[in-house]
């Protein structure tokens, strides 16, 4: 008989009292990573399988994508992932206690290319303040995009925020990154031979 406890990756924050500690989210104190805008979950599933001793938490605003990812996690019985269906912008401000995450991934966020829409980009000063608060000291923020204007925007905002150091120094990004699964958008852009920019910042 299988005695395993049921796997419940869905984290329904509407029934919990906020902010949530690491223990309340994961039930343990292991190293933890957050993925913002996980899409259909391919990346978080691969990275969680490759790092069974870490906890992973994903936030996705689109319900259809969230449900697809949930199915993937359940079908593969992956036990180190929790998923939240919510707006990550609000979540980083309201949902988590301070100093929880060792790593934060933002992979191919919506670029909002038109000038009048740039205010919708998730990277701004207030968002960086909130990320800073929920990340551990020396924690790493990884940002990935094919959109050069958003890359420049991000490097400039993080630089002027003054509380993270840019791992890639003056150039600010790399076109190569090792030991990382590819996201769905990354695969599509690479197939189209688009240049990918990998950014990495350390919380000071």
Counting contacts by CB under 6 A, is residue 39 touching ligand SAM?
yes
Angle between helix axes 148-161 and 125-134 (nearest 10 degrees) is 60
Least spacing, CB of residue 202 vs ligand SAM, in Å = 21
Least spacing, CB of residue 85 vs ligand SAM, in Å = 9
Counting contacts by CB under 6 A, is residue 87 touching ligand SAM?
yes
Neighbour tally for 156: CB within 10 Å: 12
CA torsion sign, 33 to 18 to 4 to 6? Answer: negative
| Pairing verdict, β 197-203 and 135-145 | antiparallel
- CB-nearer residue toward ligand SAM: 54 or 112: 112
Counting contacts by CB under 6 A, is residue 37 touching ligand SAM?
yes
Counting contacts by CB under 6 A, is residue 194 touching ligand SAM?
no
> Candidates 20-28, 36-44, 50-58, 68-76 — which segment interacts with ligand SAM by CB under 6 A?
36-44
d(CA 99, CA 21): 9
Counting contacts by CB under 6 A, is residue 20 touching ligand SAM?
no
d(CA 79, CA 163): 33
- CB-nearer residue toward ligand SAM: 9 or 37: 37
> Candidates 7-15, 20-28, 54-62, 154-162 — which segment interacts with ligand SAM by CB under 6 A?
54-62
d(CA 64, CA 62): 6
Query: Catalytic annotation on 110?
Result: yes
Least spacing, CB of residue 136 vs ligand SAM, in Å = 22
Counting contacts by CB under 6 A, is residue 32 touching ligand SAM?
no
What are the residue ranges of helices labelled H in the chain?
22-26, 42-50, 63-75, 88-94, 125-134, 148-161, 184-191
Least spacing, CB of residue 4 vs ligand SAM, in Å = 30
Token code pair at residue 197: 């920019």
d(CA 70, CA 64): 10
Selecting among 12, 110, 129, 159, the annotated active-site residue is 110
Active site residues: 110
Q: Where on the chain is the footprint of ligand SAM (CB under 6 A)?
A: 36-39, 59-62, 65, 87-89, 107-110, 122, 183-186
């Amino acid at each position: 008989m299988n005695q395993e406890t049921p796997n419940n990756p869905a984290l329904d924050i509407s029934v919990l009292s906020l902010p949530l500690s690491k223990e309340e989210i994961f039930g343990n104190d292991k190293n933890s990573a957050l993925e913002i805008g996980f899409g259909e979950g391919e990346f978080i599933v691969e990275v969680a399988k490759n790092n069974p001793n870490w906890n992973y938490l994903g936030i996705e605003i689109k319900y259809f994508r969230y449900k697809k990812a949930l199915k993937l996690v359940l079908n593969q019985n992956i036990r180190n992932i929790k998923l939240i269906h919510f707006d990550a912008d609000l979540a980083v401000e309201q949902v988590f206690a301070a100093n929880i995450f060792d790593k934060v991934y933002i992979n191919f966020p919506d670029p909002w290319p038109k000038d009048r829409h740039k205010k919708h980009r998730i990277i701004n000063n207030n968002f960086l303040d909130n990320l800073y608060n929920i990340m551990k000291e020396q924690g790493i923020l990884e940002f990935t995009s094919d959109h050069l204007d958003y890359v420049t925007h991000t490097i400039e905002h993080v630089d002027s925020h003054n509380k993270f150091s840019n791992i890639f120094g003056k150039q600010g990004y790399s076109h190569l990154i090792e030991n990382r699964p590819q996201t769905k958008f990354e695969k599509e852009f690479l197939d189209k031979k688009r240049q990918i920019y990998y950014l990495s910042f350390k919380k000071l």
